[in-house]
Amino acid sequence: MDTRDRKRMRIGAIVTVGWVSVMAVLLWRLYPSGGMTPNELGDFFSGVFAPVAFLWLVLGYLQQGDELRQNTEALLAQQREMEEQVIQTRILAENAKRQADAAEVQAKEIIEQSRASALSVLRDCEPILRVVGSKGDNGQLRSFSILNAGTAPIFSLTSDENSRIYPSDVIKPEQEFKVVLTPARSMSGNIEVSVTCDDKIGNRYYCEICRLAAGEVSIECERTPPINYQVRTDGE
């Protein structure tokens, strides 16, 4: 009950007490000996308390109106609060979406950077072999001299069953190794020799050395799966 309601109740109580007091004094003066029949007495009290009842009815109506107004204001305040919460939720959702979009873009950039870095590492470790010489006599080719022209060492060299590699463990950059043919082969025909090697991150390469009868020599290397990015440190 607020101040306005208490003020109304106080006024209603004062008016009621005053009205009843006036009516009691009037009754005592008009009928000092109490000479009223029951019907007359009932009519008198009905006339006395009817205005009082009407007064309290009006006061109750006013109080109910105030309560309804307060409830309406509370509901409006709650509605405004809910609207504010909806706005804040929308803002949070938009911020979350922007953050998710930014994270997605960043993830794509990281993936692209990782892919570019992996490709760069792969290219740096890829063996580049060049045939820099050959040795033979009496029309027989006995060996190839091959240079590691790449920037990284190569490991675990092996050849086919008709050739041998020296050295075969680690070939550093700008270092040569020999592929010795066993047995020697005629230089009048095409000669093919296969060599396999590993780079320092674990990839295996299959290299094909081909010498044509005209004397032209080529070498091609192809990486074989799987790719294993584990950097080797021996030989560096």
Tokens of 147: 């240079």
- Check the CA dihedral 56-62-65-70 and report its sign: negative
**Which residue reads 């920037």 in tokens?**
151
Specify the pairing of strand 176-186 against strand 129-137. Answer: unpaired
Q: Could you give phi then psi for residue 12, rounded to 5 degrees?
A: -60, -40
Phi/psi at 109 (nearest 5 deg)?
-65, -40
Helices H / strands E in the chain, number of each:
2, 9
Residue 231, pLDDT > 50, answer no
Model confidence pTM above 0.85: no
Tokens of 75: 């509901």
Q: Which of 173, 152, 155, 174 is nearest to 165 (CA)?
A: 155
CA torsion angle 183 186 189 195 (round to 10) = 30
Tell me which of 205 and 27 has the higher pLDDT: 205
On average, the pLDDT of the chain sits at 84
Mean pLDDT, rounded, for 50-70: 84
| Measured CA angle at 171 (ends 204, 228), to 5 deg | 25
pLDDT in tens, 27-58: 777 766 556 667 777 777 788 788 888 888 88
More confident of the two residues 235 and 183: 183
Tell me the pLDDT band of 91, cut-offs 50, 70 and 90.
very high
- In whole angstroms, give the CA distance from residue 236 to residue 230: 15
